Structure 1
Amino acid sequence: MIAERFWQSAALGLLALGLSLVLTPLARWAMRRLGAVDQPDARRVNRRPIPRGGGLAVVAACYAALGLGVWLWPTLLAASPFWGVLPAFTVAATILVGVGVVDDCRGVPPLLKLAAQVAAAAILCWAGARLTLPLSWGAWGHSPWVYVPLTLAWYIGVVNAFNLIDGLDGLSSGLAVIATVGMVGAAFFVDQTIAPAFSVIFVCALLGFLRYNYNPATVFLGDSGSLFVGLTLATLALVSRRGDAFLVSIVVPVLCIGVPLIDTSLAILRRTLRAILRRVDPADTTSAGGAHSAAVMTADRDHIHHRFLSLARGNQRRAVWGLYGLALALLAVGFLALALREAKATVFIIGFGAFATVVVRAMTDIELWDAGRLLARPGARCGKRSVTVILYLLGDLVCMAALYLTLLFLLFGFDLPYAWPVLVNLFLAYTVPVALCLVAARAYTRIWGRSTRKDSFYVVAAVAVGSLVSHLVLAYAVPRLAADLRLCHILWAALLPVPLLLMRLAKPAFLQWLAASENARLRHRSLTDPAIPRVLFYGAGVNLRAYITLFETNVTRNNVALIGVLDDNPGLRGRIFRDLPILGPLECLTPERLRQLCPTRIIVTTPAIGPERLADIRAFCKEHCITLARASIEEATLPL
């Protein structure tokens, strides 16, 4: 039975492949006559006009093969998980393909495209292609209030992911092939009786189109094709799920289409940041996106495939194969987790770490730069006090509640010792004294961007005192309840300072990390750009700390590379001062070390330096043609 289904699916796939090979040139000719041609410009990578809308051949090939399959082997398609939603899928695909054709020919406003995507997603959600959470998480995961917004977000995200990633020859169609094969493989891993007829047809139709779309491409998918591809993959991911495990039902489909989802997430973040920057400063054109980044839906040339193209030095094939490799690597993580059922949690953590590493690395050059520019604005430092206090209060409440629920489920699982109303009252008894102590410690009025260790100590002390007071009150009022949950209360009080301080110190820590990344970039550029000074400091003291703080404050406007610190204290040699290595005294700058460092300026930052030592530094700088300067904090009386 399985072998028969395999050969029948293969026959339909070969038919779809042949039809796609024949229909793609016809679609290319028709779209050229209709004027749906991609003209070269600053954002696009094609150097000659290329027709778009070739995805219509994929749509026609898929439905022609499906029609023949219904006529020849109706039981084959009836056994396919896609069969139950095929009518609704056809209606949804008609909406998106129709809007896509109009967009390819004449252009469609982004909001109209979004409305079409919402309508298509709603139709499929109504038909049963829904994103529901595993039953092991509870019945709430199957409530319409949960699965409807999740399903709409899934469809809109995946459809736009393949629409945005369609920027290089063969990229979107190739990634769709990899994703479909991965989903079918994952489904087979769990259920060997599955009949993936539609998946085989879809893959073969894409392969036929890829013959003309691979570099050098003669036709593009266009919006009509990329929207259909995204809709198909989003639906396949939902209807092909087998089992109720979190790994099978959610993680593997996400990893299968990981590359487009990464790109879409970064695009939303990047464009949102730039829209905010343009709104707060209309004259600003210094963002990575320039002056054309005012709207979230405005296209740019900072997608992940553009970055791979830059790494490949303009070679489209290398860039595309690099992204294919990234997609296969994410897919391999999912299959490894499926194969190692015993250790699947560990494997998934490793895979998620790799996924996060890719995201952070891809963000470093552009998205984090724009985020740093937004946070580094003088007006973004303090903000309105009332808004800041409210945000801190809400953040503390979220941290307290999240930690409380986490400890309850870790200690007791789903078999909680008391009813929810009792646990909610207990949570209030925990949090109110702590919140009052935080208010008394002025934790909501401190400027955490300029905090010291004493400020952090006040938060820890406030949590400790508040927790002790609440425990004493509970032990007196409800001794049995306090005794049953004593361990939970102790762990809650011990761990609570961590998220509270992380929330307060995240922004300054991020700006410091951004400054270190920018300084590393400037150090690299300064080796070939003489306009960027390479600075050594003399003296690892308070003045140097003030100088580096100023450097971090002006991170987006710096044009100086900080390369190290000189200090006469032998106990400091080899240590790190705010990410700068302490090299030792002046005598450590041997000719070989000078060739490695290539300093162009030495700034004396220590006030405790004698005239003899200063004369030695001056003579050294004169001998090696190094500029000498001095930085200090001085007080001067101003005339009235």
Structure 2
Amino acid sequence: MKIVDQPDNYRKVHEKPIPLMGGYAIFLSSLLSFCFVFYFQKSLFKTEVIDPQFWSLLVGAIIILITGAYDDLHDMKPRHKALMQAFVASLLYMMGFAINKVSIPYVGTVDFTMISYPITIFWFMGCMNVINLLDGLDGLASGVSLFAVITLTVSAANSGNTTILVLNLIVAAAILAFLIFNFNPASIFLGDSGAMLLGYYIATISLISNHKAETALTLAIPFIAIGLPVFDTIVAFLRRWSRRVPISSADRKHIHHVLLNSGLSTKSVVLILYAICIIFSSVSYLLILKRDGVAMIFLSIILIIAFLYAKRFGIINTEQILKRIKEDHYGNKHSSKVHVELEKALHQFEDAQSLAELWQVSLPVFQEMKLDQVIFVSEQNQEKLHWKNDLTPTNTKPEDIVDQWSISLKVFKDQNLYGKLEISMTAEDTHLRDIFSQVNSLREAIANHITRITQQKENASTEHAAQSD
């Protein structure tokens, strides 16, 4: 059926096609085990294990599994996959899986009732995607998920919640059985279906615990337990954002890629990351024991070490992030001023009766855009209109190492060519795409009004000729 992961000689480290059926194995084994528990629930536990929420959990799992399976076969677009995830999260929200309150150490209980829906959607989508993004080495995503579920199992046992305990044990056993075949060298992969399913399990089980527990602190336990993929996802987002590349694009700067590039074997890298997961799970266990202060100290130390490591090996580039922030701040501020002048010019164009008047109205826009010079060459009579910025340039670099660019744009409407705009500028912090967008708006307006002025003159000439006759 070609449900396999092909090697790509870039991000993937396996050398031959590997089946992507792990999600199906985990789902079916969990479902069969759960049906067994359902059948023997009264005789085994002397209690009702099943409630209506579990049926919605099952329906959501099936939808996620199908979505991931389609993605494995056809490479679903990220926005379509996100829509399916949001749909499942919305379905479960309506069935009572909602984040209404969260207890934060030293802060107290925070009420999220007014924004419960978006917070819940973000939680579901976050858990599903952080596990999916970490699925880059044999046994990595499944192992991290196993540690998270074990942490939730300990939490359920500590709270005496038999329902969640049984469910966690089932999922943990299914992951552990799969991990035997998924650990390096893997004979089967999770695929997007399996990775999203595990994230879905973690998100859902956490909310069941959160809903039934007296304190909402249970939500912090899985969040910290999956601290490794959460940290890796956050720095990946910042890394791609700062470089202005799509957030969904792939790269080789994830933590496991950096460790592999240092010369470690795949198995060694996975074991190191397992050890990190055990540390995060231990911090979660401290929260289970209500030792919030000690947990926060350990968590702070871990995050500082992780940040220094990420900065040292190029996983995150703080200089690039600060540069992006500075560029966006300057760009937004500068663009706002340009748009004000552009709106004024577009309004004043309505009263212009000649090309010369259109040109005079455009000059403040050129000035605010900080262009060096603009030349308009008329197609009709080769008339040349010229504007040059006489202000002293702010760039202090020598002229021979300052970037400069020029662009030539034809001014036309329909099949009528009126001339061309020649623009040049010394490169600063403004991006070419912003300048082009603004100049293009001005060009289209000039073309439209030249057409209007030309038609008015033609109409006036026709009327004058008719009166003469």
Which residue in the other structure is 1:357 paired with? 304
CA RMSD of aligned residues (A): 3.1
Which residue in the other structure is 1:208 paired with? 177
Alpha-carbon deviation of 1:249? Answer: 2.5
Taking the aligned partners of 2:103 and 2:135, their CA distance within structure 1 comes to 36
Taking the aligned partners of 2:8 and 2:320, their CA distance within structure 1 comes to 31
TM-score (norm 1): 0.48
Alpha-carbon deviation of 1:105? Answer: 1.5
Q: 1:359 to 1:102 in 2, by over 3 A?
A: same
Taking the aligned partners of 1:116 and 1:127, their CA distance within structure 2 comes to 17
Alpha-carbon deviation of 1:297? Answer: 0.8
Which residue in the other structure is 1:180 paired with? 149
Which residue in the other structure is 1:99 paired with? 67
Alpha-carbon deviation of 1:183? Answer: 0.8
Given that residues 23 and 65 in structure 2 are in contact (C-alpha distance below 8 angstroms), is that contact kept between their aligned partners in structure 1? Answer: no
Identity among equivalent positions (%) equals 26
Residue deviations 1:427-473 (CA, integer Å, cap 9, x gap): xxxxxxxxxxxxxxxxxxxxxxxxxxxxxxxxxxxxxxxxxxxxxxx
Q: 1:146 to 1:385 in 2, by over 3 A?
A: closer
Taking the aligned partners of 2:287 and 2:326, their CA distance within structure 1 comes to 47
Equivalent of 2:94 in 123, 126, 129: 126
Given that residues 164 and 208 in structure 2 are in contact (C-alpha distance below 8 angstroms), is that contact kept between their aligned partners in structure 1? Answer: no
Q: 1:122 to 1:376 in 2, by over 3 A?
A: closer
Alpha-carbon deviation of 1:157? Answer: 0.6
Residue deviations 1:147-167 (CA, integer Å, cap 9, x gap): 111111111111001111111
Taking the aligned partners of 2:69 and 2:221, their CA distance within structure 1 comes to 32
Residue deviations 1:207-239 (CA, integer Å, cap 9, x gap): 111121110001101011111111011111111
Which residue in the other structure is 2:194 paired with? 225
Taking the aligned partners of 1:78 and 1:295, their CA distance within structure 2 comes to 53
Given that residues 98 and 120 in structure 2 are in contact (C-alpha distance below 8 angstroms), is that contact kept between their aligned partners in structure 1? Answer: yes
Q: Where do 5+ consecutive residues of structure 1 fail to align?
A: 1-32, 276-293, 391-640
Residue deviations 1:340-389 (CA, integer Å, cap 9, x gap): x4xx34213302312421441243033542x4135458983982695799
Given that residues 11 and 252 in structure 2 are in contact (C-alpha distance below 8 angstroms), is that contact kept between their aligned partners in structure 1? Answer: yes
Instruction: Give the aligned length.
Output: 333
Given that residues 41 and 47 in structure 2 are in contact (C-alpha distance below 8 angstroms), is that contact kept between their aligned partners in structure 1? Answer: no
Q: Where do 5+ consecutive residues of structure 2 fail to align?
A: 338-469
Structure with bigger RCO (C-alpha 8 Å, 6+ apart): 2
Taking the aligned partners of 2:186 and 2:61, their CA distance within structure 1 comes to 25
Give secondary structure in 1 for the equivalent of 2:243: helix
1:61 aligns with 2:29: yes
Given that residues 80 and 196 in structure 1 are in contact (C-alpha distance below 8 angstroms), is that contact kept between their aligned partners in structure 2? Answer: no
Taking the aligned partners of 2:117 and 2:197, their CA distance within structure 1 comes to 21
Equivalent of 1:117 in 70, 76, 85: 85
Which residue in the other structure is 1:328 paired with? 278
Q: 1:105 to 1:79 in 2, by over 3 A?
A: farther
Residue deviations 1:150-197 (CA, integer Å, cap 9, x gap): 111111111001111111111111111111110110222233655522
Q: 1:347 to 1:70 in 2, by over 3 A?
A: same
Equivalent of 1:305 in 235, 242, 256: 256
Taking the aligned partners of 1:115 and 1:61, their CA distance within structure 2 comes to 27
Q: 1:376 to 1:164 in 2, by over 3 A?
A: closer
Q: How does 1:419-568 map to 2 (within 5 A)?
A: none
Equivalent residue letter for 1:65? S
Taking the aligned partners of 1:198 and 1:378, their CA distance within structure 2 comes to 45
Equivalent of 1:348 in 270, 291, 295: 295
Given that residues 161 and 261 in structure 1 are in contact (C-alpha distance below 8 angstroms), is that contact kept between their aligned partners in structure 2? Answer: yes
Give secondary structure in 1 for the equivalent of 2:10: coil
Given that residues 62 and 201 in structure 1 are in contact (C-alpha distance below 8 angstroms), is that contact kept between their aligned partners in structure 2? Answer: yes
TM-score (norm 2): 0.64
Q: 1:362 to 1:150 in 2, by over 3 A?
A: farther
Equivalent residue letter for 1:310? N
Taking the aligned partners of 2:325 and 2:124, their CA distance within structure 1 comes to 39
1:167 aligns with 2:114: no
Equivalent residue letter for 2:256? H
Q: How does 1:587-626 map to 2 (within 5 A)?
A: none
> Which structure carries more strand by proportion?
2
1:338 aligns with 2:288: yes
Given that residues 308 and 322 in structure 1 are in contact (C-alpha distance below 8 angstroms), is that contact kept between their aligned partners in structure 2? Answer: no
Residue deviations 1:8-51 (CA, integer Å, cap 9, x gap): xxxxxxxxxxxxxxxxxxxxxxxxx3343332421111122212
Which residue in the other structure is 1:515 paired with? none
